[in-house]
Structure 1
């Protein structure tokens, strides 16, 4: 079918070969690609490799087209449907309130516009380059080879991890049982389900013999073993439907062959393997055995279908843009935060956020709106129409210009495209979107389109660009512009990818306080390369807070004066504030940007006037974008209490001054009371959102303690303990309140329980020793402080207490005031959302 220009045969062959090599490399690497030097070892590196290869393949295809002087593409309804879907998605992303994430950012989002555009480019390349049965068969072999390599690795990984507790790879992110280069364990099962279908199709075609046949049987067994081990029921459902199609197709095909060439031609062998897989999948679908529990895979949690539809409805109710265009591709996490149900706060799932809904189909209702959903529905209809037309075409006369072997390969391509495409399409209604599976679906559709075009006469459209000088000039300029634009996109994304590498290094350094400066330097490089990614700026602001903590703990020395420490502190504060403000200005609707800005201001309340007001304002704006979050109200309350503490410090300074300023003192007392009342109101809101929210009860207890209301402080501490039984922080707080209220017997019970929970808990042992001393149990008191001394050998106060006790004196004899415990008490609560972005991510 390919036409050549006589003066450029070699050049055309080179461009086409390079473009095909890029496509094959993309198909091979997409399932297995991961590298350890980014924050997300699988997703970001896979996106980079796929995008770069797709762009290179497109550029070389443009060069091929220019040198040949003609445009060639297959006739199909799927191509315009893909184009329409991408265009609608692009408009939705560009007009989105989160356009930086939805329209521009390639890395980190698997279902935003750049990702969808990459999938469309893969579809285009595969459909225009796979123009013969031979090329189609080679591309399927490339896909299957990658799947076999992945299957061998995963089986060794599962066996070594489950049987010996040792893993094949040295990196921390890979040392978990469900690590894989596709995504979650369920996504891996879907991928191997597709690979199993491919192997069965190839074996059922009876085109292969010898080593190829043996490889296919071994591969099919490996793929089936993975599907059974993981035990994800939608895969079995999809396999059942795919095998029904394959069995029906083969049965009708053999009947047709027997009718046209005689009954002796009928072969049941082509049906045996699909029937076997169908029976296995059907039985597993009915039984749903918990085989996956053997490997202890992490439980995958996602929103329910009804919850996703409810969120989509709320997005549509917000505005006409939300109704018709949605919130933008890849922005479901923002929809979830804004519109999730308050009832989730009563479950253990309240802290979780989700980047997608229950499946791709309901998710696109929220992110793509009516137009995006309609465009996707048209793509589905175009695929189904093309699939069944191509399958039915088999029973008509094959064109005389297609060789027998090429015709068999084209038929195999059609079956692969129909079966694989339908299998993945079904899963789009049952499971969230996955990058590798998205590539596989668009590749399967492209193989279907190319195979269908090659199986019929006039299946390809050909337009010569040399029919007139005007057309040649216009088309050549357009191609050159496309090549230039592609080169720019390649450079732009390469720069952003390098930024991701620096970001990954910064994340790794951030786990070590001593390497804070290295972390800041790498975050700075990432921001310089990609200043439009707010997550980089958020992380930079947070690591500056760590630096502030280090500076505050510094002591003056011969080489470091107090003035220099103060200058360092001011610089670090300014850097933290500037980074947080830059993130918030870059994406004003992003909850995490506003929350980070509030966190930065909260942490500098002692050093900057008005920081508390800025913190509260930022938190309140964040709360508008996550109105069901009790933790944001807790943050607001904590900010008010920190401001009240600062006011207390000012009041103490006034009390010690020689000249009294009663008017100012009265105003400060009034300000403190107002801050405490505001904190109380925020805590009440937090508890109203989540009645068993332990940190809110804990902070409420501290608030009442500040106001001198010991009874209510104890009541709230009891609530904290009730909702978090056995929590060491709640036990300590309640015990300390009992101790201060001289309820020593009750205090003793709480502290004793705390040291049972954690025998090395110095705070609990410290106060337990004091209680024993006050109750006259001297030997027990000595034993407690001896244990504390072992845990804190350099603590002089503990040594003095032991000396007092052994001399028969009270523990705090001649110590002036009660010394501070060896370490501050820990908060009795799970981490407040959102989690710090500078903590290392694990898969």
Structure 2
């Protein structure tokens, strides 16, 4: 076996030509093309076929092209019968980091979300991190040549210029037929501005080191002119976006990167013969410093980004680390910050409009990493950043080879600014890709030791390498197949959601959801949504097969209902088995069994237990206590119907059950109100409890407060009017019903009960007018037609009628849908 190690900076122009990519081989061309496509597509790539048009598509491209470039790199060495790799202690850190992420994923709370990623968490999953590490090693070992890096820079500049121009056109409405006003292909507007700032710093660096006669890091001739135009476009677009967003972290990132460019230029002045070119970075630095302290008056209408504060983020991270040794060392698992946020968010959030939003990342990337990967993960990440920075700084201070120094200078200044942004702000897949990709470029310059092994001198090693290449190829093919199946499931799921939003029937929605679960049986999201779709199908079948009075459903109909009910329950149970720490799965389970209380034995107990578990996973969210109370109210209502039974023993038990259920409902609702004092839903159902307990004065007081809080909510106003009627306060009831009709003239029940009050007052013409309106709104309702006929004959009554919609008269309805709370979702 012939093995040699090469050391020293003198290898930059000679030894590096021996790396596989430098040769015009088939594999070398594939590797170049794959890398160029990666740097062009990752920032700009999106497709409308999936629910998340960005992250999942970018991850798919990352996996495919990273593995293709990796296989091409290995294949080129096998074909040349020579193993050529860079070695040094920097190689160890990414391997340790991926091992740390591996163990964190093994003990994760999320399973699939940690291993592969979903719901915008692809950027932090084990699979994505593995691809980043693979990409780092490929770039480090195969991209040291200036011509390769020129191609990477060009691809990135083109991508940034296109995405920047498209974003500006979108915000001005020029692309409104195709994309929305707040569109950008990277993510939130803040992460997009971070991306543009990174590319701008790269472009300014290239501008500074290029010469008219010898562009060096830029292409020659017309292509050099095109690159300079692209740099100008990126600079202008980025300034417009930065001034419009006016976010201090972005200004700090730009200041840091520009200062690095200027400082190193002073250290190595001989590399910058044309000092006039420093006018551009100096102007950019001046603008950045100015707007860091002065608020920008310029706005382009970009969407406002909301994220947890630094204080809240740090508090959640500290709570996660205190859970125990496992959480301290390994965190909660990749992609699980939304679980951490749900569990440890402060109750003060309930006083904001974001009280029911579960943020999926902390204020900064390092805080998100600390919570999800633990102390081991964040320490290894920081060690990697420091190690790359130290190696790069050492090369910048010692390197004397012109081209080598310039490459390191340009790459390091942009990469260092991006690293700072990850410390100060959150991240996504595009920013993580650039972080690892440019770390690989820096390593290709700083890892100067190259080890070469000639297979021709060692047949055994050559055979082993060929066998390893085949095994790796098979592994790659398996990963690509699984990725394809996963992508197929994403498309099917998106199709189901679009059908649902378009008003399709439950049966139509169920089919693509089944396809999604079959293509990818590891995602709780698919099973949870399938369970809900099956629930809707159960509802529709119950309505379609409702028997006539005195008749029962056929055995076939009963079997169909039972089958759909069982399938719905099995789906939500599967979702919980996949992700037992996801509060959404328990919420859906509780709602499911609440709906099935008349179909499934002991469903009420299962529903209550589910909402209780949801409350444990998200203790400061009042919604779960309110949901528990709704189940108790349903139990109380069922018990009330049994009080008419002739068996006194049954009546006695029903009275006690109703009393206990109402007491528990009151307790749960009071707990919800303690968490959120202005929680309209809890106040509404607490009034329902008081009304059922005969505490009409307290019920009326609460309902009146709700009416004042939401005066345009006709549902609340109607319930208040009914309470007034129950108290025989007909004057206030009449005023309330008339107010409701003024807001919503087609509200049949308000007119129905207003007619009764007019009857009590002797205003027969007013009663006839109101009932006539109800007849017009409900022409097929026999009860309404008979009442109108009686009134016209002069027959009046002081007894309140049943509602237009058949059912027991009550001051509150458990199916009331008008009491809602608005929340504004945020990506960060």
Whether these two folds match at TM > 0.5 is yes
Find out whether 1:57 has 2:69 as its counterpart: yes
Match of 1:198 among 187, 197, 202: 202
Find out whether 1:21 has 2:33 as its counterpart: yes
Residue 604 of structure 1 aligns with which residue? Answer: 596
Give, in angstroms, the shift of residue 467 of structure 1. 4.2
Equivalents in 1 of 2:742, 2:131: separation in Å? 57
Residue 356 of structure 1 aligns with which residue? Answer: 361
Find out whether 1:640 has 2:645 as its counterpart: no
| 5+ residue gaps, structure 2 | 1-14, 219-223
Equivalents in 2 of 1:313, 1:225: separation in Å? 38
Tell me, yes or no, if the aligned pair for 2:32 and 2:148 is still in contact at 8 Å. Answer: no
Residue 261 of structure 1 aligns with which residue? Answer: none
Match of 2:262 among 247, 252, 259: 247
Residue 84 of structure 2 aligns with which residue? Answer: 72
Match of 1:565 among 557, 562, 578: 557
Cα distance change, pair 247–646 in 1 and its aligned pair in 2 (3 A): same
Match of 2:176 among 156, 163, 167: 167
Give, in angstroms, the shift of residue 488 of structure 1. 1.3
Find out whether 1:710 has 2:696 as its counterpart: yes
Match of 1:228 among 235, 243, 265: 243
Equivalents in 1 of 2:729, 2:513: separation in Å? 51
Cα distance change, pair 126–556 in 1 and its aligned pair in 2 (3 A): same
Matches within 5 A, 1:422-821: 422-452=416-446, 458-512=448-502, 514-555=504-545, 562-652=554-644, 655=645, 660-776=646-762, 784=770, 792=778, 794-795=780-781, 797-798=783-784, 810=796, 817-820=802-805
Aligned-partner SS, 2:172: helix
Residue 414 of structure 1 aligns with which residue? Answer: 408
Cα distance change, pair 669–826 in 1 and its aligned pair in 2 (3 A): closer
Aligned-partner SS, 2:424: coil
Find out whether 1:179 has 2:192 as its counterpart: no
Find out whether 1:141 has 2:154 as its counterpart: yes
Give, in angstroms, the shift of residue 249 of structure 1. 2.0
Give, in angstroms, the shift of residue 642 of structure 1. 1.5
Cα distance change, pair 674–20 in 1 and its aligned pair in 2 (3 A): same
Tell me, yes or no, if the aligned pair for 2:154 and 2:227 is still in contact at 8 Å. Answer: no
Cα distance change, pair 215–681 in 1 and its aligned pair in 2 (3 A): closer
Give, in angstroms, the shift of residue 13 of structure 1. 0.8
Equivalents in 2 of 1:528, 1:341: separation in Å? 39
Give, in angstroms, the shift of residue 714 of structure 1. 1.3
Q: Which moved more, 1:763-772 or 1:546-555?
A: 763-772
Cα distance change, pair 731–472 in 1 and its aligned pair in 2 (3 A): same
Aligned-partner SS, 2:104: helix
Residue 100 of structure 2 aligns with which residue? Answer: 88
Give, in angstroms, the shift of residue 203 of structure 1. 2.1
Provide the aligned C-alpha RMSD in A.
3.2
Give, in angstroms, the shift of residue 320 of structure 1. 0.5
Equivalents in 2 of 1:349, 1:148: separation in Å? 35
Give, in angstroms, the shift of residue 278 of structure 1. 1.0
Residue 402 of structure 1 aligns with which residue? Answer: none
Cα distance change, pair 41–668 in 1 and its aligned pair in 2 (3 A): same
Equivalents in 2 of 1:524, 1:120: separation in Å? 35
Tell me, yes or no, if the aligned pair for 1:604 and 1:611 is still in contact at 8 Å. Answer: yes
Equivalents in 2 of 1:668, 1:470: separation in Å? 83
Tell me, yes or no, if the aligned pair for 1:11 and 1:67 is still in contact at 8 Å. Answer: no
Residue 838 of structure 1 aligns with which residue? Answer: none
Cα distance change, pair 476–661 in 1 and its aligned pair in 2 (3 A): same
Equivalents in 2 of 1:670, 1:632: separation in Å? 25
Give, in angstroms, the shift of residue 343 of structure 1. 2.0
Tell me, yes or no, if the aligned pair for 1:133 and 1:451 is still in contact at 8 Å. Answer: no
Matches within 5 A, 1:287-326: 287-292=294-299, 294-295=300-301, 297-326=302-331
Aligned-partner SS, 1:153: helix
Q: Number of paired residues?
A: 794
Tell me, yes or no, if the aligned pair for 1:695 and 1:828 is still in contact at 8 Å. Answer: no
Deviations 1:788-829 (A, max 9, x none): 56655555555555555566554x799974533899884443
Q: Which moved more, 1:664-673 or 1:192-201?
A: 664-673
Tell me, yes or no, if the aligned pair for 1:640 and 1:678 is still in contact at 8 Å. Answer: yes
Equivalents in 2 of 1:636, 1:199: separation in Å? 58
Aligned-partner SS, 1:666: helix
Aligned-partner SS, 2:85: strand
Deviations 1:393-420 (A, max 9, x none): 4xx431xxxxxxxx54x44432332122
Q: Which moved more, 1:598-607 or 1:667-676?
A: 667-676
| 5+ residue gaps, structure 1 | 258-264, 399-406, 836-840
Match of 2:280 among 262, 273, 280: 273
Equivalents in 2 of 1:76, 1:154: separation in Å? 42
Residue 820 of structure 2 aligns with which residue? Answer: 830
Tell me, yes or no, if the aligned pair for 1:694 and 1:828 is still in contact at 8 Å. Answer: no
Residue 134 of structure 2 aligns with which residue? Answer: 121
Equivalents in 1 of 2:266, 2:775: separation in Å? 82
Find out whether 1:380 has 2:380 as its counterpart: no
Tell me, yes or no, if the aligned pair for 2:355 and 2:823 is still in contact at 8 Å. Answer: no
For normalisation by structure 1, the TM-score amounts to: 0.87
Aligned-partner SS, 1:429: helix
Aligned-partner SS, 1:160: coil
Give, in angstroms, the shift of residue 190 of structure 1. 1.2
Cα distance change, pair 834–238 in 1 and its aligned pair in 2 (3 A): closer
Cα distance change, pair 75–270 in 1 and its aligned pair in 2 (3 A): farther
Deviations 1:496-542 (A, max 9, x none): 11111111111112235543112111111111111111111111111
Equivalents in 1 of 2:119, 2:724: separation in Å? 53
Tell me, yes or no, if the aligned pair for 2:202 and 2:411 is still in contact at 8 Å. Answer: no
Cα distance change, pair 385–818 in 1 and its aligned pair in 2 (3 A): closer
Deviations 1:751-791 (A, max 9, x none): 34434544554444444454445445556556655655665
Cα distance change, pair 363–726 in 1 and its aligned pair in 2 (3 A): same
Aligned-partner SS, 1:462: strand
Aligned-partner SS, 2:160: helix
Tell me, yes or no, if the aligned pair for 2:572 and 2:585 is still in contact at 8 Å. Answer: yes
Aligned-partner SS, 1:72: strand
Q: Which moved more, 1:760-769 or 1:598-607?
A: 760-769
Give, in angstroms, the shift of residue 287 of structure 1. 1.1
Cα distance change, pair 193–664 in 1 and its aligned pair in 2 (3 A): same
Tell me, yes or no, if the aligned pair for 1:137 and 1:413 is still in contact at 8 Å. Answer: no
Tell me, yes or no, if the aligned pair for 1:12 and 1:64 is still in contact at 8 Å. Answer: no
Equivalents in 2 of 1:698, 1:147: separation in Å? 52
Deviations 1:621-654 (A, max 9, x none): 22111111211111111112222223334444xx
Tell me, yes or no, if the aligned pair for 2:611 and 2:628 is still in contact at 8 Å. Answer: yes
Residue 57 of structure 2 aligns with which residue? Answer: 45
Equivalents in 2 of 1:816, 1:361: separation in Å? 64
Aligned-partner SS, 2:308: coil
Cα distance change, pair 795–533 in 1 and its aligned pair in 2 (3 A): same
Deviations 1:75-118 (A, max 9, x none): 56554333222221221111223233212446741212222222
Aligned-partner SS, 1:365: helix
